Structures are given as C-alpha cells and as structure tokens.
Chain A
Amino acid sequence: MAKVIFGVWDGQVYDNRAKQLFEIEDSPDFAEFNEFDPGNPIKAFMGGKGFFVFEKDVSLLDIAVCYLRRAAHESCGKCTPCRMGTRILEDKLQSLREGEAGVGVLDEVATLAEHIGSTSLCGLGQTAGVALLEMLTHFRDELEREVEGGARRGRQNCTTYVTAPCIEECPSKVDVPRYIDYIKDGKFTHSVGVVLQKYPMAATCGRVCVRFCEMACRRTQVDEAVGIKVLKRFVADREKYVTDRWFTPELIEKKQPPELKVAVIGSGPAGISAAYHLLLKGYPVEVFEAMTEPGGMAAVGIPEYRLPKEAVLRKEISIIESLGGKIHYNQRLGQHFSLDDLRDRGFKAVFLGVGAHKGKGLGIPGEERSIAGYVTGVKFLLFINHYHINLDLPMELGERMVVVGGGNVAMDCVRSALRMGVKDVHLVYRRTRESMPADPEEIEAAEAEGVHFHYLTHPTRLVTEDGKVKAIELVEMEQGEPDASGRRSVRPREGSEFRLDCDFVIPAIGQEVDQRFLGPDDGIDLNRWGLIKTDETTLVTDRPGVFAGGDAVTGPATLIQAMAQGERAARSIDDYLTYGRVRFDKGDRFSQLLRSIRKLNPEYVDKPVKHIYRIKAQELDPEVRKRIFEEVEKPISVEEAYAEAERCMRCYRVYSVVTEK
C-alpha cells in the first residue's frame, strides 16, 4: 500500500515526515496508489483539492510546473486570470525549478495562485492554484529547500489528466462542459461533434439516457443539475447531422488491411458503438443482427413515445452503413452461424454484444409456458414495437392488466398498455415508491396517465382457466429493519392475501442473457449470473480474439453503459489486431485513481453561485398522450438552450501523477 509521506487534501494535512517510511500506517484510501501501470510506482499525485507525496526525492516544483502547464493548455481563454495567470505561474515555477529565481519568488507565486483562484470564471481556473497554495501554506519549507538546494532534481515522469465530475461519472466519458460551451457560443455543429467523438447515437442518448452526469453535476448543490440531456437532444436534433455528407468513408483517416475483418454480433447500443469506432479506426466491419431491424434493446425495448425509431434511432444507426460497414439481418449467432464459422470466414476479431433479452419469470405457481395473457415485460415491449408500431396490428390485451416490477421496463409496459387501449392498468411492486429503481420522471408520468400503483405488494399465484389468465393472487408486504446496504427487507404480512381479477399479467422484474447463442465448444465462459465472463476493463473473453460488452456482460443496464463498453471493446480490438494484446490505458487508470480519491471527500460548491432554475421541457398533456405513441417530451427552443447552457459551471479539474518510469 502506498505510504503518504506528506500532503494535503481538501484542507486535511497529512505529515509523516518525522517517521520512517515503514512506520507510516497503511490507509486503505491509498490502496490504489501503489503503481500507475504494472511495475511503475506512483511517487506523487496532484489534483484540484491538494496533493500527496508517496516517495522521497520528489520535486514539488516539477510536478507543479507540469500541472500548471496542463491547466494553461486547457484554459479556454475567455477570462484573463486563467488564460494569462496560469502561463505566468508556469513560467515562474519553471524558473524556480531551473534555479534561476530565488526563494522570494515563492511569495509572488502564492499571490498569483490566490488571484487566479478567486477571479477565474470557471472551475478550471478556480482550482488550478489550489494544490500549489496548499503546498505553500503547509509545506513551504520543502519548497524553499528545493529552491535553495539549487540542485535540479531532473525532470520527472509526469502524466496529466483533465476531467470534470460529469465527465467522470459518464460511462462514455463525454466531454460535457465542452459541448455545453459550444452551445453558449452558438456553435451547434461543434457541440454535436464533441458527442460524436464518443458514440454515434447522440439524439438517441439525448432522449433516453439515465444521466449519470446530471447526478454528479455540482450545480445540484446550488439549485438543480444542468439539463445536460435536453441540451444534447437540442443540438443533435437541430443539426440533423445524420447526413451522408458528414459520414463518408473518406472520414476514415487510416485504412487497415482488408484481411483484418471484425465481426460485431448484435446491433444494439454496444454493437453499434463498437462498429462505429472500429470503422473510424479503419477496420472492415460486418454487423450480424438476429432480428429484422437494428438497434437491439434500444429498438425493441424502448417505446416509441420515448424514442421515435424511424426518425431518430434508425437514422443514427445508418451511420454505420454510411461509413462503409455492413449490417446483416436475420442472422442469429448459435442458429445461423457459430463463432467457428466466423473464424473460417476470415474474421480476425469478434465483438459479442448479444444483450440480455430473456425476461425473468415470477417463479410462482400457475406460471407455465403458453398461457394466454401472460408474457414477460421485455417480450411485451419487443412485440408491441414489432407488430403494433411497425405492422400497425391492433393487439388483444384484455380489459385489465397487471404489471409486476418497479424498474423502467415496468414503467414502459404500463404506459404502453394505456396507449394500446387497455382501460385498467395496475402496477404491483414489492417495496415502497421511494425504493423503486425506475426514473422518478417515469413514475410521475405513469401516475399522471392513470396507472393504479400497488406498493408493498407481491404476487403469490397466477390463476388460470382453460389456458387463460383469470386473476393474480397477491399478498401485502411489511418492511423490516434496514440491512447493511441501507435497504429495508420486506416480508409478507400474514392474512393479507387478496385476489385481483385480470386478463393479462406481465412480469417485468429483470432480464437475463439468452444463452442459446453459445455452443459447447465455443470456449466462452459464463459467470454464475449467466453473463459473459470478461476482464472488467479490457472486455477480453476467454477465447482469444473475442471481446464482449453491453448487457451480456453487465446484466441489464443502460444505453450509455453499453455504448461505453462498445467503445472500450473497439479500443481493445484495435490493440489486439495491432499489437496482439491489449495495452495499458492511462484514462482508465486515472478514472480508477479518482474513484478511490473521491472517497476522501464529496464534491461540493464553495463559491457563491446565483440561483437559476433549469428549464422544463414541455410535454404532451397526459390525457392526450396516453392514447397515442407520439413522443411525449417536446424539444426546447434556441433561447431556452442558451439560457440552460449558461448554467454550466465548467467544473474542469486537472490531475497529475509523478511516476518512476
């Protein structure tokens, strides 16, 4: 475990200089800080809240120079303190490091760092001098000794990384403040471009993303998170960027040899994102899709009123074809071809993005195959999309429907059912409203549209007659004590059983990987949850040349996580085809370090900010929308977009590590 010799983080001073290194107590907080990459110890770390020194003979001046150089490089230049201040600061530190200036200059450095922090307009400038000031306040003697010693300690290996809380929380690491900046400037094309660097489905993501970024937004501590999602949708819709003009094979800078063919299994968010990045890296890519339309869970699992398929999703997926990729439909792995077939057809690498499409059953008596009026949530959404929306086929769903579950799939099911003309829609969930995993917006929308919610209720038996659903037997639950994770257990309350007559029951309690894609000799291992076993970061499976990502690896998760894994797998495949192995990635590593350092303190806002509440996207009236599949959320206006973009505080932070090699 790395030993902190001295340092400051968020105002807390660590000083173990009087002790021998082996006497310093181990702290689990620094378990990650042993090595940067294998065999390469971390000697020091510097960030937006302070710094740590882990080994003797680290030059503080050098790490500060390196840190400020990156800050100056990142400065957008719109405010003088940050644009000029960081440069001057870097120069002064450099002359100190080179022995050209005396101890007196340290005072100038302190004043300058203080000024940059107090007068810069955004998070980048406001934090650029923090660590340096902490050094000067608490460990000035170390800096003076270094300056007076005059002996230049040689350049150190310094690696820097720039991020922001929203970027760090985003699985795809989209540069959120940057695309919002471009909106402020009215450069909408540039703004979409920032998103397109990470994935091709910007308008899709702008509609259905779960927004890890907004949860991490520091603005939540002032008023409300910045409307990152609506802004993304705004630029993506407005630019109608999915044109053949933007995406042509000429966009690909370096073509790879034609024999380095890559097969992508599944055209869901993970597969499309992997194909996109592989195509941009110059590989010939063929996508194999089991169904007749592309998009995977995004196409069949998200209702039309949240994501228009023809106008948005399919257009964005067509980018793959514009870039020269091929998509084969009706090609199911394990049925029409095997992994060995792909190898024999000359594919050098395979990405498995098969998803988790199999709905879990309730595990209660009465639940067998082929009962009329019983279908799992994912299947329900899939078939509604396939038959009702695409083929315009009315569906026989009965008068009263019961959906079991509390996630977004359950919400999608109840809201879709209303739109299909089911009069009486009930939702059964075994815990309370507060512990529902669905988005609060989705729950509110379902309530507004007239769904009957039964909380703390659990099904016990499915009542059928002549192969048809007749009713569901339910029991009320009561809450017990909170467990270690803070979640309260629930148990059935005796004697509270009741029966709800209905003609349709939908379990929407989770999905799993449909394992039929695997043959016995495929050499792909599954873990105990039935998910494809991969290396967590590199997404390498047990079979050489085969990589996997998306729901098939993570279990049912989100669009953005799947797209992030697709992109990560594309990098791994590129490494594999170029070097024969997956190489170390410093971005991944920095993210790990930041996750562990964040345990020391939460992000907070320490400078006063004017309260401006976020704009509300207009929605169709619940009475109107519950009858139709038209998109519920309406786009925002240009004025609203400008106003919303202004709310971003640009919480950029620079981090750097000094390593041995």
Chain B
Amino acid sequence: MDLIVCVGDHCHLNGSEMVVRSFQDLLKDHGLDDRVMLKGSFCLGKCSARDEVAIRLDGTVFHTRYQDAVACFRREIMPAIEAQLTDA
C-alpha cells in the first residue's frame, strides 16, 4: 500500500518536509513501515486553496496543515490504513 505525500511547489512551501518527517516516524512507531510505503509525488493535482499539504492513500486524498500532521494521521489516515489492511 502506498501513502503518497505531495512535495510539489505549493505543498512544499506549506511544509511537506515536516509532514514527511512525521509520517516516517509514525509509520515506524506503529510498525507499519514494512506494509505501507511512504512516497513523494510532484503534485497530486489536488492543490488545497489553503496552506495545506495533499496526501493520498490509494484513491482518497487528505489535506492537512503541517502543524496538524500527527493529528491528521491518527484521526483520518490511520483508520483508512487499518480498514484496508483488514480488507486485504
């Protein structure tokens, strides 16, 4: 399963780097780093009008401010990952 963080121009300026760093740690903490592949992309085509970073898990796109990356992971992304893992 691929978790893709946008590192394009817009998202980069909104702090993709910090999002990538937190996600790398979070996946490791949850023991998911062998099942979920964290990747970067140059634009997901879903730029947020606000100062947010776009993230995609399979077909679903999430947006988060870099300050809220950890909360977003716990609240939205983690359940989505778990749902998929159970499906599989």
Query: Which A residues contact B (CB, under 8 angstroms)?
Result: 292, 369-375, 379-380, 383, 386-388, 391, 393-397, 466-468
Contacts of A391 in B (CB 8 A): 17, 20-21, 24
Contacts of B38 in A (CB 8 A): 393-394
Q: Is the CB of A466 within 8 A of B17?
A: no
Which of A372, A387, A388 interacts with B43 by CB under 8 Å?
A372
Contacts of A375 in B (CB 8 A): 8-9, 42-43
Q: Is the CB of B17 within 8 A of A374?
A: no
Q: How many A-B residue pairs have CB under 8 A?
A: 70
B65 interfacial by beta-carbon distance below 8 Å: no
Q: A388-B40, A393-B40, A394-B37 are in contact. Are A292 and B17 (CB under 8 A)?
A: yes
| CA–CA, A208 and B5, complex, Å | 32
Q: Is the CB of B45 within 8 A of A396?
A: no
B2 interfacial by beta-carbon distance below 8 Å: yes
| CA–CA, A369 and B39, complex, Å | 21
- Chain B residue nearest to A395 (CB atoms) is B40
User: Which residues between 14 and 66 of chain B lie within 8 Å of chain A, taking CB atoms?
Assistant: 16-17, 20-21, 24, 37-47
Q: A370-B47, A394-B37 are in contact. Are A386 and B17 (CB under 8 A)?
A: yes
Which of A369, A380, A387 interacts with B17 by CB under 8 Å?
A387
Could you tell me the dominant secondary structure of chain B's interface residues?
mixed
Contacts of B20 in A (CB 8 A): 387, 391, 393
Please give the distance in Å from B7's CB to the nearest CB on chain A: 5
Please give the distance in Å from B47's CB to the nearest CB on chain A: 5
| CA–CA, A370 and B24, complex, Å | 25
Of A372, A374, A375, A393, most B-chain CB atoms within 10 Å? A393
B4 interfacial by beta-carbon distance below 8 Å: yes
| CA–CA, A386 and B18, complex, Å | 12
| CA–CA, A375 and B9, complex, Å | 9
Contacts of B4 in A (CB 8 A): 396
| CA–CA, A383 and B16, complex, Å | 11
Query: Which B residues contact A (CB, under 8 angstroms)?
Result: 2, 4-5, 7-10, 12, 16-17, 20-21, 24, 37-47
| CA–CA, A468 and B21, complex, Å | 26
| CA–CA, A395 and B8, complex, Å | 11
- Could you list some 6 contacts between A and B, CB below 8 A? A292-B17, A370-B45, A372-B45, A393-B24, A394-B39, A395-B42
| CA–CA, A88 and B72, complex, Å | 85
Contacts of A395 in B (CB 8 A): 7, 39-42
| CA–CA, A394 and B21, complex, Å | 13
Of B12, B39, B40, most A-chain CB atoms within 10 Å? B40
Q: Is the CB of A387 within 8 A of B40?
A: yes
Could you tell me the dominant secondary structure of chain A's interface residues?
loop
19 further A-B pairs in the complex, CB-CB below 8 A; given A370-B46, A372-B45, A379-B9: A371-B43, A372-B42, A372-B43, A372-B44, A375-B8, A383-B7, A383-B8, A383-B12, A383-B40, A386-B7, A386-B17, A387-B20, A388-B40, A393-B40, A394-B37, A395-B41, A395-B42, A467-B45, A468-B45
| CA–CA, A327 and B37, complex, Å | 35
| CA–CA, A396 and B37, complex, Å | 11
| CA–CA, A386 and B12, complex, Å | 10
Please give the distance in Å from A389's CB to the nearest CB on chain B: 12
Please give the distance in Å from B40's CB to the nearest CB on chain A: 5
Q: Is the CB of A370 within 8 A of B43?
A: yes
Contacts of B2 in A (CB 8 A): 396
Contacts of A383 in B (CB 8 A): 7-8, 12, 40, 42
Contacts of B44 in A (CB 8 A): 372
| CA–CA, A397 and B43, complex, Å | 11
Please give the distance in Å from A515's CB to the nearest CB on chain B: 16
Contacts of B43 in A (CB 8 A): 370-375
Contacts of A393 in B (CB 8 A): 5, 7, 20, 24, 38-40
5 tightest A-B CB contacts, nearest first: A467-B45, A372-B45, A375-B42, A396-B41, A370-B47
| CA–CA, A483 and B12, complex, Å | 43
Q: Is the CB of A371 within 8 A of B45?
A: yes
| CA–CA, A36 and B47, complex, Å | 59
Q: Is the CB of B10 within 8 A of A370?
A: yes
Contacts of A372 in B (CB 8 A): 41-45
Please give the distance in Å from A299's CB to the nearest CB on chain B: 15
| CA–CA, A374 and B43, complex, Å | 8
| CA–CA, A468 and B10, complex, Å | 17
| CA–CA, A467 and B44, complex, Å | 8
Please give the distance in Å from A293's CB to the nearest CB on chain B: 11
Please give the distance in Å from B8's CB to the nearest CB on chain A: 7
